[in-house]
Structure 1
Amino acid sequence: MSPGDGSVVPVMEVGGTHVTAASVDLGTRGLRFGRSFREVVDGDGSTGDFVSALVRAAAHVPARGPVRWAVALPGPFDYARGIGQYEGVGKFDALRGFDLRAALTASLPGAAAVSFWNDADSFVLGEWWAGAARGHRSVVGITLGSGVGSCFLRDGRILRHGPGVPPDGRVHVLRYAGEPLEETVSRRALRRAYARATGASPPDVQEIARRARQGGDRAAVGVFAEAFTALGSVLGPLLAAFEPTVLVVGGAIAGAWDLVAEPLRAGLTAADRARNGRIVITAAQQPAEAPLLGAAYLATACGRPHGLPGPL
């Protein structure tokens, strides 16, 4: 099987500092040869820098044209038109109004078309299709990093409204203590909270987590406890209404799962002990691969007449 025969989908996942490219084998629900390829992306760079980084990553993927590439990336982005809408989010400002679909269709190897998908949606679909949420009919997934991404699934279909679903399915629009949720739960919020607690210049989240685990740093432990108890208290009423059987957590900060899980569960339980106590709360099974797998799934499934079907 090779990209171009329909059984393998060439994909990319764009983060704030990197792009990862791979081929997804639809038959095995995994990466072809178990490999992906990463290149650095400068979130403050020009459109030319951005496109060049994606093209360099894609060059590692054997794609015999014509093929349809699938790209997962964060919003705000017009996924249908392939045009950036970034403004005031601290990255990718150069892509605002830029036709990324046209640029990539002209530049990616073998590209006949390029589809774009939200990275949080892709992550959760990947975990449902081939990861920690496989076998679950009702799923909520969140990603923790520069912000809070989210996706609400039922029978493999993304829900944008309904009981327990926030506006457009996006948890980041909610508020905590009178402020946007991401002022409490995000990379910048954790660093700011640590700086306030210590009076020192804050290290990155990975170092704060290390200090919490190894150094007995009470401020570091408190930063994680407060942030993720707060997240649980915000998610609790949503999950009680949506009634998922599993909550899957991914993103860079989920790498500190030992510091995230307990306060998150405590916040959820305090919000609704009876119902949220039955939900499986788990870290992603395929944290790096899930966005790639989900983008391939979406690109394939959404080409069918009735949208997303059950598992392929």
Structure 2
Amino acid sequence: MTTPPPSRLPVASAPASDARRYVIGVDLGGTNIVVGAMPEDGSREIGVRSQPTRAEQGSDAVVDRICEMIEAVITDARAEEGMPREAFLGVGVGAPGPLDRERGIVVVAPNLGWRDLPLRDLIGERVGLAATLDNDANCATLGEWWTGAAKGGRNVVGITIGTGIGGGLILDGRLYHGSSDVAGEIGHTTIDSNGRRCKCGNYGCLEAYTSGPNIALRAREALESGERSILPELVGGELARITAATVYEASERGDALAREVVRDTARFLGAGIANLLNVFNPDVVVIAGGVTQAGDALFEPLRAEVRRRAFKPAVEACRIVPGTLPGTAGVVGAVATFLQQRDR
């Protein structure tokens, strides 16, 4: 029997009075931390806050920042909704992995420099609330499935593009974690066996080409090889300041180099997504993160590459869409994972 979407789980599994109970969602990324609250029925987002992660300050400082943000969101939500602190059921945390969900441990997070960090309990004990831990990309995928672009999908692949590349899989209506909690590591699938070195230690990973920092890196490399572009003008001549967003801006202005970088990004992503279509045959692929700023300049060649590479029946069955919860999909999904883990 297929588990119903989280949008129906909270209402169906709790009495009507529980509409006034709330959950905190934490989306921890390599660049930013986003924290917000939601009612148990998932009807709205409350008190959402964002701060830079500053991973270079160490795990203790990051955990401190997360807990301070949770307390601030609780204060904001209570002022807005007028509920007591006891109305908060707990905290769902989405973090980069691989993870050990049962023990609440971040096993390794290359973009944060963490190993074997008991993040769930560090947060839960500090704020005095029950806490759960899941992969941040799983959370983003579940968030888009619950209330966003993938709502109504049965088999869904989610890809989050930011500091790294994350992925989530919903198969036959259930979030799929695999045998050891590492299912959905789409960023570390190989698209070129002799390709670029990835932070994970492998070569040719999708992440090594299409994450935000690596999109910027490919643009800088082209400039350093003598290519002409408006990119240096956009960053005052400081090439180190070029980001993926800078590349998208230059592309929108018609810059030939930036457009080539975006097209190459689309081709790399298209090759990776075609593999996923042939393996999982999803009805929705939802792509979230800053890369969606590129709009049709990215999605049109991406879809064309998928059509070129994947089996036609798989292509015809699948929508490839940008996420519709910019900045908060991970928060929404972290709330949903808390509710699902609580009700197991």
Q: Same fold (TM over 0.5)?
A: yes
Q: Which runs of 5+ in 2 are unaligned?
A: 1-17, 75-83, 194-203, 227-238
Question: Could you tell me which amino acid in structure 1 is paired with residue 218 of structure 2?
Answer: A
- 1:259 to partner: Cα distance: 2.7
Aligned to 1:310: none
- Answer yes or no: is the 8 Å Cα contact 2:162–2:290 preserved in 1: yes
Distance in 2, matches of 1:198 and 1:301, equals 48
Deviation at 1:153, TM superposition (A): 0.9
Unpaired runs of 5+ in structure 1? 306-312
CA spacing shift, 1:154–1:40, aligned 2, 3 Å: same
State the 1:80 CA deviation: 2.5
The answer to whether 1:296 aligns with 2:317 is no
Structure 2 distance, partners of 1:172, 1:47, is 23
The 1:134/1:174 distance shift into structure 2, 3 A limit, reads: same
Deviation at 1:103, TM superposition (A): 2.4
Question: What percent identity do the matched residue pairs reach?
Answer: 25
Q: Compared with structure 1, are the counterparts of its residues 51 and 147 closer, same or farther at alpha carbon in structure 2 (3 Å cutoff)?
A: closer
- Name the count of aligned residue pairs: 290
Q: How does 1:160-239 map to 2 (within 5 A)?
A: 160=177, 168-178=183-193, 179-199=204-224, 201=239, 203-214=242-253, 216-239=254-277
Map of 1:248 onto structure 2? 286
Bigger helix fraction: 2
Evaluate the alpha carbon distance shift between residue 211 and residue 48 of structure 1 in structure 2; reply closer, same or farther with a 3 A threshold.
same
1:139 to 136, 152, 156: 156
Q: Which residue is 1:53 aligned to?
A: 65
Correspondence for 1:25: 39
The alpha carbon displacement at 1:59 in A equals: 1.5
In the alignment, does 2:96 pair up with 1:79?
Answer: no
Q: Cα deviations across residues 171-202 of structure 1 (Å, max 9, x unaligned)? A: 12211122222222212321222122222735
Check the 8 A contact 2:29/2:163 in 1, yes or no: no
Residues 137 and 232 of structure 1, relative CA distance in 2, 3 Å threshold: same
How far does the alpha carbon of each residue in 1:69-117 deviate from its partner, in whole angstroms, 9 at most, with x for none? 1111111333322233336x242x2x43333233222321xx2321111
Q: What do the CA deviations read for 1:5-48 (whole angstroms, capped 9, x no partner)?
A: 8731122111223222211113243213xx31223321111233
Aligned with 1:13: secondary structure?
A: strand
Q: How big is the shift at 1:57?
A: 0.7
Query: Please, what TM-score do these two structures have when normalized by structure 1?
Result: 0.84
SS in 1 for 2:326: coil
Q: 1:107 aligns with which of 112, 126, 143?
A: 126
Instruction: Say yes or no: does 1:287 pair with 2:335.
Output: no
C-alpha contact (below 8 Å) 2:20/2:39 kept by paired residues: no
1:308 — aligned with what?
Answer: none
Is 1:44–2:66 an aligned residue pair? Answer: no
**Does structure 2 retain, via aligned residues, the 8 Å contact 1:71–1:117?**
yes
Give the direction of change, closer, same or farther, for the CA distance of 1:157–1:6 in structure 2 (3 Å limit).
farther
Q: Quote the residue 2:235 is aligned against.
A: none
Contact map agreement 2:105 2:118 (CA 8 A) in 1: yes
Deviation per residue, 1:155-179 (Å, 9 max, x gap): 43123569xxxx7232122111222
User: Which of 27, 32, 45 is the aligned partner of 1:13?
Assistant: 27
Alpha-carbon distance in 1 for matches of 2:142, 2:63: 26
**Amino acid in the other structure paired with 2:154:** R
Distance in 1 between the 2:280 and 2:106 partners? 31
CA distance in 1, matches of 2:103, 2:19: 25
CA distance in 2, matches of 1:234, 1:47: 32
